[in-house]
Structure 1
Amino acid sequence: MNWLSSPIPPLTRLVVATVLLCLQVIAFVTVAVGVAVAQNTESVSECDPDNVVYRGQLGRSFIQDGVSVSEVTRPVFIQCDTELIALTGFQESEFRFKFVGEVRIVELGDTLYADTVVYFTDTQVGEASGNVLITDGRVVLTAPDAIFYRDEKRTVFNNGVQFEDSTTVLTSRFGTYWSKEARAEFDSRVELRQDSLYVSADTLTYLRDLEETRARGHVYVERTDGELVTIFANTLFHSGLTDSSHFAGNVDMLQVSSDSTGIDSLFVKSQHLYLTQSDTTVNVVATDSVEVIQGNFSVISDTLTYIRSKDGASVLTRSYGSPVAWLDLTQITSEDLRLTRVNGLLDSLRADGNVFVAEYDSLLSRVQQLKGRTLVGLFENDSLRTMMVSPNAEALYYMEAPDEGEQKATRLSSDRIVFSFKNGELIKIGSYVDLDGEYYPANIVDQAKNLSGYRWEPERRPDNSKFREAWLRRVEQRNRHMQL
């Protein structure tokens, strides 16, 4: 019997036609994509980007802008270590694929979600748009659109982006994220928020694994560690692991703390400022052209250290490198100067090395003077109670003579001179060991010469009102800059 000439039953004919149609679909998808259907078993290091898997249910074919486009539903796309699924896929050219609807891309530990993705197999670049979300389980990045570079493990955001992990929320107008390095480079209107830290800047680099932040340009920082600290600078480096910060370039710091005495402000200007914390203290180190104002105390110096207990009970301010300090109307110069506050009130003052104290007496139009190697001052209720200078103490003190309009002066030298005050007024001068003195009555008072090392420089004193004005200008400039 010649089976070739025998009629084929209808059912058999239908089965054969169905099988042939399926084979044609598989062949069409495979040929249209120009890739191998074989399972990709290569490791990432041996990745062949030309080896692409693209499969799904073949849909319609049509011409768009003169190009033949094939549609696939429920597509699965694989290139090296990247796998993509979506509701619909379109091959728009040999290397261009478009995926629409619930697009998900999985690459190693990273997953990208979007409404639409256009992917180029030759360059391994994808353009995601619509509700873009990227996550590795620890970090979530969201944006309206993004461009991802598969081979570089890099994603670029050109229309706004938000980065969020367990400790940090970071936003900007533009940004780039390297998933392998866990590094974010954000630019324009950058804002970083952590538990007690806020940073805004022109550009910012965040290294997630190292918890490091590097900010540049119009840097503004707020810290809330029991008190509000705000800082302007040109650059910032912050380590989350050590909870330390380094500010550089035109640094202005304002600290406002609430304690039992009310609101107390600390102003600091410098070129460098280091902010660190321990379990018990907050520490500030300022260097290079330092200016400080706190209440009735101000100082200029090369270096300043400020140590405050976290409960706010004690504060030590230390200036060295030829500091010049002012306490009320008194100017103090030395090589090293320390001021201690307890519960918000002045407690003690110590100056070491070539100490010179000067105070202008407006009633006499004279400068009262005191010098020695070391000065120790003790306070009570924020008012100076005693001041001792030793050794090699010298003093030049002017006073009103009995005759109205006349003056007299006394010059003392001793191993130690002690001044006693009440309500801010000098009530007693005591000297101990090797006392020597000269008296200048009214007729020769002008013969009293200034003490050696005389310094009186009121024009150098930091001005509180000018500092506040400059601070407000920087606040206004920042606000305008963030709105650009």
Structure 2
Amino acid sequence: MIKTILHIFLFVFCIPLIAQTPNTQGKKKIEIVYGGDINLDEQRYPGATIFNKDEKQQVQFRHEGADMWCDLAVLYKADNRIEAYGNVYFQQGDSIRMNSAYVEYNGETKIAIAKDSVILRNNSMTLTTDELEFNRETQQAYYENFGTVKDSANTLTSIKGRYYMDIDKYEFKTDVKITHPDYTVNSARMDYYTVSKNAYMYGPSTIVGEDYKMYFERGFYNTVAEQGYGLKNTRIDYSERIIFGDSLYFDKATEFASATNNIKVIDTVNDGVLRGHYAEVYKARDSVLVTKKALAITLYEKDSMYIHADTLMVTGKENERVIRAFRDARFFKTDLSGKCDSIHTDEKTGLIQLISSIPPGAPENKLAAFMPILWSGKTQMTGDSIHILSNTVTEKLDSLKVWNNAFIIQKDSLSGVKFKDSVKQGYNQIKGKTLYGLFEENELRVVNIIKNAELIYYLWNDDDEFVGIDKRVCGLIQMMMENNEIDNTTSFINVEGKIYPDSEMPVNARRFRGFYWRGDEMISSVEDLFSPEDNQIELPVIRGVNHGIDLDNPNLAPQEQQLNIEQETVDDAGAATAQQGS
């Protein structure tokens, strides 16, 4: 009888006071919607009122737009605080819903701490963890002992996480992972928007898809479209190619990837490398385009060939690669180099073509300046078109062809010294319609000049005394090379000519028509491939490397994003140090 009277007294007098007593600090008190069985236990819960569910339903409480149901609640009226136990269900508005075994809610701070089998839901995702702090004032929820988030597309896990409810954004930290049937993402830290499904990653990160793998230390990934970019130490394994660059972008739908600044593309099948400062990779077409100090490196029988041009394009399947070099193309290989307007190489046929582009109106005496040019050692060869053929099996150089206006020039090393007159500097010259050359062990050994062949050659005896100038015309001249120098020449078919002493050969007769010495253009090293303009190229500044970029929330200033990133990095480092110390 006494217990019943006590219950009635509490219900009639205490509850209205609990529900209606104004807060002197201006905060609203926690309201009791349904109290169930009500008790007091000053020994265990001093200053608190205990509410138990009854046969009808769970107890229910309300505070500023949020409702909570549970099996048992302990309400501290003075502190405006409540502890909820057993099958706790917390709801804010019509979007945020939370289940757990326990919740402690503070009406002053509007912070709810949920523990044991916590599940937080809204219309777009579900979060599960063992302990969650939900700050209704800032509309943020935070966990720091592993959590799992599931939305319509992905499953995300991390050690720590913070959820911003007003913008549907998560900040995940430490061992972050996205799992999806088509890809997985791992990162040190990630910002993820549950509506757009966009992920922003900071620190070492990898994305592994069906046919690609990407690494970077800052980047973005649209998980719906499988589209994104990476900044800082970036790399993408894309089918048979590995792409490096300061910035990388890729799009699975179009099978396209691009790289900017300090790029390198490795062909893992054909032992080729492309370098430059901008590249585009078209996977479906099996092609790569490189510009801005573009350089292609191809291995030929343990010796590399380097090709440079304004633009390089590589296409074709395995063992059928084609390299096209456009505008001011140049190449360098041990003992052989050249330049022209464009270069075309075909791995399947073993053919390298040097192609000219003579501008309209170019004077006849300057045509050689625009022709393709080849150097074997210091021997200069020009013509309308130059073809170099290699053996596709041994990958060794096989033969050389110069089509139309073939012209060979070699600076005579003794004439300039002996005559002590720069005007009399001699040049050994052979010209004709067509040139055929043969290589032995990648060195040019035999050269045949066919049709309308002409020769000017400076002769010296074994004591380096001048003998005369051999000048002749014939149907064919065969030239033997030794160590990339002209060793001897032999003339065939209707040979006419003689050896002239120095006094009988006027200076203007010592050079054939069309003579054009291009020694200052000679390519003797890889560095010579690049012009001064190439070496002075200004690289674009890549946004986002030093300051974060948030496409989903542009109102967040880059400086603020960077401060957040740096502060959290410091916090993580401090926590790690503290753990090591303990």
- Alpha-carbon separation, structure 2, partners of 1:422 and 1:178: 61
Instruction: Note the residue ranges of structure 2 that are not aligned, 5 or more in a row.
Output: 9-35, 39-50, 69-91, 357-370, 417-425, 536-545, 547-582
Mark the CA change 1:203 to 1:65 in structure 2 (over 3 Å): closer, same or farther. farther
SS across alignment from 1:459: helix
Q: How does 1:91-130 map to 2 (within 5 A)?
A: 91-93=134-136, 95-99=139-143, 101-130=145-174
Q: Please state how far the C-alpha of 1:250 moved relative to its aligned partner.
A: 1.0
Aligned counterpart for 1:388 among listed residues 432, 435, 448: 448
Q: How does 1:370-409 map to 2 (within 5 A)?
A: 370-380=430-440, 382=442, 384=444, 386-400=446-460, 405-409=465-469
Letter in structure 2 aligned against 1:180:
V
Measured against aligned partners, the alpha-carbon deviations of 1:189-246 in whole angstroms (never above 9, x if no partner) come to 212335653332211112234332211112133333243x333311111123333211
Letter in structure 2 aligned against 1:334:
G
Q: Could you say which residue in structure 2 is the equivalent of 1:208?
A: 252
Measured against aligned partners, the alpha-carbon deviations of 1:405-433 in whole angstroms (never above 9, x if no partner) come to 3433343345x32315376632521135x
Q: Please state how far the C-alpha of 1:302 moved relative to its aligned partner.
A: 1.6
Aligned counterpart for 1:149 among listed residues 175, 185, 193: 193
What's the TM-score, normalizing by structure 1?
Answer: 0.78
Q: Could you say which residue in structure 2 is the equivalent of 1:232?
A: 275
Q: Could you say which residue in structure 2 is the equivalent of 1:77?
A: 120
- Alpha-carbon separation, structure 1, partners of 2:100 and 2:57: 10
SS across alignment from 2:493: strand
Mark the CA change 1:443 to 1:102 in structure 2 (over 3 Å): closer, same or farther. closer
1:218 correspondence with 2:267: no
Mark the CA change 1:51 to 1:295 in structure 2 (over 3 Å): closer, same or farther. same
- Alpha-carbon separation, structure 1, partners of 2:220 and 2:65: 36
Q: How does 1:40-55 map to 2 (within 5 A)?
A: 51-55=94-98
Q: Please state how far the C-alpha of 1:183 moved relative to its aligned partner.
A: 0.9
Q: Could you say which residue in structure 2 is the equivalent of 1:246?
A: 289
Q: Is the 8 A contact 1:334 1:354 kept in 2?
A: yes
Q: Could you say which residue in structure 2 is the equivalent of 1:318?
A: 353
Mark the CA change 1:418 to 1:102 in structure 2 (over 3 Å): closer, same or farther. same
Higher strand share: 1
Q: Is the 8 A contact 1:401 1:442 kept in 2?
A: no
Aligned counterpart for 1:286 among listed residues 313, 325, 332: 325
User: Structure 1 vs Structure 2: percent identity of aligned residues?
Assistant: 16
- Alpha-carbon separation, structure 2, partners of 1:337 and 1:64: 86
Q: How does 1:10-89 map to 2 (within 5 A)?
A: 18-19=53-54, 22-25=57-60, 32=66, 51-57=94-100, 59-63=102-106, 66-71=109-114, 73-89=116-132
Q: Could you say which residue in structure 2 is the equivalent of 1:358?
A: 409
Q: Could you say which residue in structure 2 is the equivalent of 1:426?
A: 488
Moved more, 94-103 or 236-245: 94-103
SS across alignment from 2:53: helix
Q: Please state how far the C-alpha of 1:451 moved relative to its aligned partner.
A: 0.7
Q: Please state how far the C-alpha of 1:50 moved relative to its aligned partner.
A: 7.2
RMSD: 3.8
Moved more, 314-323 or 325-334: 314-323
Instruction: Note the residue ranges of structure 1 that are not aligned, 5 or more in a row.
Output: 35-48, 475-483
Mark the CA change 1:65 to 1:158 in structure 2 (over 3 Å): closer, same or farther. farther
SS across alignment from 2:54: helix
1:134 correspondence with 2:178: yes
Mark the CA change 1:146 to 1:383 in structure 2 (over 3 Å): closer, same or farther. closer
Mark the CA change 1:65 to 1:458 in structure 2 (over 3 Å): closer, same or farther. farther
1:460 correspondence with 2:524: no
SS across alignment from 1:130: strand
Mark the CA change 1:73 to 1:56 in structure 2 (over 3 Å): closer, same or farther. farther
Q: Please state how far the C-alpha of 1:274 moved relative to its aligned partner.
A: 1.5
Letter in structure 2 aligned against 1:373:
K
Q: Please state how far the C-alpha of 1:109 moved relative to its aligned partner.
A: 2.6
Q: Is the 8 A contact 1:407 1:445 kept in 2?
A: no
Q: How does 1:288-307 map to 2 (within 5 A)?
A: 288-307=327-346
Q: Is the 8 A contact 1:397 1:409 kept in 2?
A: yes
Q: Please state how far the C-alpha of 1:436 moved relative to its aligned partner.
A: 5.5
Mark the CA change 1:293 to 1:85 in structure 2 (over 3 Å): closer, same or farther. same
- Alpha-carbon separation, structure 1, partners of 2:444 and 2:98: 86
Moved more, 400-409 or 388-397: 400-409
Q: Is the 8 A contact 2:230 2:247 kept in 1?
A: yes
- Alpha-carbon separation, structure 1, partners of 2:289 and 2:161: 42
What's the TM-score, normalizing by structure 2?
Answer: 0.66
Mark the CA change 1:33 to 1:413 in structure 2 (over 3 Å): closer, same or farther. farther
Q: Please state how far the C-alpha of 1:140 moved relative to its aligned partner.
A: 1.1
How many residues end up aligned between the 2 structures? 438
- Alpha-carbon separation, structure 2, partners of 1:88 and 1:141: 25
Q: Is the 8 A contact 2:110 2:135 kept in 1?
A: yes
